[in-house]
Amino acid sequence: MKTLYTWHDIYPRCEKIAKELKEKYTDIMDYEIVGISRGGLVPAVIISNLLGIRKVYSLGLKTYKDQEKDGAEIYQVPYLANNNRVLLIDDISDTGESFIIVKKLYSHKELVTVSIYMKEKTKFAPDVVGESIDNNIWVVFPWE
């Protein structure tokens, strides 16, 4: 089942996430935001504006799900030398593979993970989620 989410769906979930982050992590302003490209970039910017965090970076990750190649390629890693606190944002934790891969990359950092949506049977449950959704939903975001 294909579901088209609109900005009216996305923005309130980002507000909910920002509020929860402020409540759970009193030092959230000390974090730098990394959005997983491409889907996580828009929510990363929205949440950065809601939190007032100006340092926002992009991490490029391409996952493959075809007959020729099964895996992932990280093609862009932001330089975060002076900060050990990272707020990692993606639009959805579908299979969870993107979060699992990037969490390994940042294993030496204090990491808080965020997604707007999380499928019920994902392999990775982010620390903060806007909403849990059924596995049978195929999500289409307004930026797609």
Instruction: Render 16-32 in DSSP notation, one character per residue.
Output: HHHHHHHHH-TTGGG-E
What pLDDT sits at residue 73?
84
DSSP β-ladder status, 56-65 and 70-76: antiparallel
What pLDDT sits at residue 67?
44
The C-alpha atoms of residue 88 and residue 65 are separated, in whole angstroms, by 23
Provide the residue-wise pLDDT of the chain in tens; the chain has 144 residues.
Answer: 899 999 999 999 999 999 999 999 999 999 999 999 999 999 999 999 999 999 999 999 987 665 455 678 888 999 886 778 999 999 999 999 999 999 999 999 999 999 999 999 999 999 999 999 999 999 999 999
What pLDDT sits at residue 9?
95
Q: Which pTM does this prediction carry?
A: 0.92
Peptide bond into 85 cis (omega under 30): no
Whether residue 139 contacts residue 114, with contact meaning beta carbons closer than 8 Å, is answered with no
